[in-house]
A and B are shown apart, each in its own frame.
Chain A
Amino acid sequence: MLDRAAESLFWIGRYTERAENHARLIDVYYHIREDSIGPDEGVWRRISGAIGDSSAYLERYGEFNERSALQFLLLDTEQTNSLLTCVIQARDNLKKIREQLPSELWNLFNSFYLWLRQMTIGEVLAEPHRFFERVKEGLAAFQGTLVSIAMRDESWCMLESGRYLERSENIVRLLDSVCQTVEEKGQSSYSYLLAVLKSVGGYEAYRRLGIDELSMEEVASFLLLQETFPRSAHFALASFESNMKAMRSKSDRSGSSLEKIIRQASKARSELSWLERQDITFSSLGSVLQQLLATNNLLGESMAKTFFFPHGREVIA
């Protein structure tokens, strides 16, 4: 496989995962507003900050309101982190390597992109939940087809490692934003925490584990440590690690730099496994998240160094 193809696959994994996270998060935020006290503005400010850059928002749209915020987060192609931008990026990468994956996948994702691109904010607002459902379905169809027909070779490992690295990063960011909100809102955070769990599809799982209390600490430890829940940081890092291990036999970069990535991932994962529920308190959470974020950044950089630009351009004629 070409270096360039490896890079594209990694980013397809990352961007499709990011798009799904955006859709899940915005959907839930959108539907908890009724419970919140005070003006809407705060909700939109928070979510614009969590996904995009609030100062860029203010520059372009002025005040925070539903219509502009959703436009900004979902369909604004100038915003580098909007849902549509993520889908465009994933598609561009897919286009570059479309001959390497089954053509079904391209057709599927391209139709999804064509549908999303022609949506207007008016249509989204008419049926917001339906819109988010369709986004989730579109991405799930792509993911499902991939699982069903893609070869389990190095291209699969690259794609999956991108996906899980992105997932781990998103969980950290989500929890970070939760921390700040809970700090601001204090007691009224119950419905908010519920929404957070629902956004990752983890509410039912959380209840099945028999956790009585719905507190910041419990939710955070669930999202960080629960190794059987596929959208937990622990699960994401473990999956990333196993995909990297599978690369060992498939790449000649089995030398030190690949081993280093595996070691970094494995270290972060085991640190999470050693944490006890009691270790996660409101005061310690901040530093745990900081550390995880640093690990994620480090892994991203190591991936780029190892696989995408291992040596500069050379001219030997």
Chain B
Amino acid sequence: MELWNAITSKSPSPSHFYDEMFDGNSVRPHYAKVQSILSRLSFEERAARQSTMNRRLLEEGITFTLAQSEQPDALERTIPFDFVPRIIPSEEWDTIEQGVSQRVRALNLFLQDVYHEQNIFKDGLIPRRMIMGNRYFRTEMMRLSVPGGVYVNASGIDLIRDDHGKYFVLEDNLRSPSGFSYIYKSRSIMTHDFPELYFSHSVRGIDHSLSAFRAALRNLAPGDKADPVIALLTPGSFNSAYFEHTFLAQQMGLELVEGRDLVCRDNKIYIRGLSGLKKVDVIYRRIDDDYLDPLAFRPDSMLGVAGLMNAYRFGNVAIANAPGTGVADDKAIYSFVPDMIRYYLNESPILSNVPTYLMSRPEEREYVLERLDQMVVKETSLSGGYGMLIGPSSTEQERMRFAEKIRENPDNYIAQPTIQLSTAPICLDGRMSSRHIDLRVFALMNGRNVHVLPGGLTRVAMKEGSLVVNSSQGGGCKDTWVLTR
């Protein structure tokens, strides 16, 4: 235990947070083996292992590109990887799996409803203006039936734990959530560079999730073609998540294409290649709605394909995720998800929401403005940790500026009490230290079934005490293990 350089003293303010590994001073039973193996290693051994892993990440080009960066050299960087795994006991996982599956089904039904009958407005559960005025609402999708009724083929649900260890949903990502590749690479690094740790546990495998992913895409293909062509539409090699796109294309046998590789003829989409044109049946797109088709959306888009929306309307090509899913992962709509679950599924929500105040409601706005220093304020349409105010760590001036912005445009903001993310130990240059983490769980919807990838991506706020885990803000990741009983 002395080798474990007293984690609790390293923690920002230990008693307030739920620690994944420690319960007070004792190790939680499902972490016992990891803890004992790690404490047998010396500082130097741990540091050496860490640097081997980092080198491998760099050599394999498992990088992402920062959107705004002054130095050209800093442009390409690896996501910091930590080898202390995050472990989820089997029963705990069952709850998460059911909760995520339930949530995704409800959100999908919500989208179906929004773009067809709009019963949820008629029944007065959600104000109509919140949807119609939303920048992600697509009139083009009205009354359009999508293959299999599936809007959110791939989604990422972000979970956090409060100081009692209870799971909450922080955010739904229904447009094009990224992070799949980090899960697989993290696992591959653990099995190759730390086998004695990995193989001492019985961990649920993740490989079949790629097949489930492929099957979900394959089943969207129009007609009953035996061997449909599935393409992954990427913005190109300059995109921050390009590594992920190449990874998914390679692992699932998809064609990796850019908009300029595609051409529309007679309302069908073709890949143009050396051996002529090849018809595309399914497009898994990793570009935003706005850029999909310059004829339908932004006319200045160079990333999309002119005519794609027409081909989609004619049912000649499927698009995953469907355009217009952004209305359902809006941060203001988020607060209605538990109601949706009751409304559409007639079930009670398994995973709770973080309490959320809508700034468009005057009494909630005043409540929040009085306590800005205890709140996290988010802009409803932004993600990736941009446009946020974290009350406790903000300055008086920042709070003033935000209060002004909220009053000017209340519809654009929501507030949540500062949530105490759970902490987990990480290894920094051989020393163990404690950092805040969250969990992005990935769900793949195939017809009526939802496949949840066992584990998911544990993101780590690498800065001490920080609550921001997004990789665009320097967050790292861990391998996430779901134990098989």
Contact = CB atoms under 8 A, between A and B. Distances in A.
B106 interface: no
Interface stretch (A141-149, A246-254, A283-291): A246-254
Contacts, number: 71
Contact of B274 (A92, A114, A252): A252
Interface in B166-207: none
A106 B60 contact: yes
**Of listed A3, A95, A110, A307, residue having the most chain B CB within 10 A:** A95
B261 interface: yes
A317 interface: yes
Contacts of B250: 98-99, 103
B237 interface: yes
Interface string B306-317: 110010000000
A238 to B, nearest CB: 23
B245 to A, nearest CB: 8
Contact of A114 (B58, B275, B295, B307): B58
B111 to A, nearest CB: 26
Contacts of A114: 58-59
Given A3-B272, A3-B274, A317 B295 contact: yes
**Of listed B242, B256, B271, residue having the most chain A CB within 10 A:** B256
Interface in A176-217: none
Given A106-B61, A316-B307, A251 B275 contact: yes
A251 B276 CA distance: 8
Contacts of B261: 2-4
B307 A317 contact: yes
B61 A95 contact: yes
Contacts of A3: 261, 272-274
B274 A251 contact: yes
A98 B275 contact: no
B258 A307 contact: no
Interface residues of B, number: 29
A6 interface: yes
A126 interface: no
A251 B249 CA distance: 23
Contacts of B275: 1, 154, 250-252
Interface in A95-118: 95-96, 98-100, 103, 106-107, 110-111, 114
A219 B295 CA distance: 61
B292 interface: no
A98 B61 contact: yes
B273 A110 contact: no
A37 interface: no
Nearest to B309: A317
B272 A252 contact: no
B265 interface: yes
Contact of A107 (B59, B242, B257): B59
A152 interface: no
Interface string A71-101: 0000000000000000000001001101110
Interface in A220-259: 250-253
B33 interface: no
Nearest to A307: B274
Nearest to B72: A77
B264 A317 contact: yes
Contacts of A253: 274
B240 interface: no
**Of listed A99, A110, A154, A313, residue having the most chain B CB within 10 A:** A99
Nearest to A101: B250
B263 interface: yes
B256 A314 contact: no
A103 B60 contact: yes
B237 A96 contact: yes
4 smallest A-B Cβ distances: which pairs? A317-B307, A99-B246, A99-B250, A252-B276
Given A2-B261, A6-B274, A99-B247, 17 more contacts: A1-B273, A1-B275, A2-B257, A2-B272, A3-B274, A95-B61, A95-B237, A96-B237, A99-B256, A107-B59, A110-B58, A110-B59, A252-B274, A253-B274, A314-B263, A317-B264, A317-B307
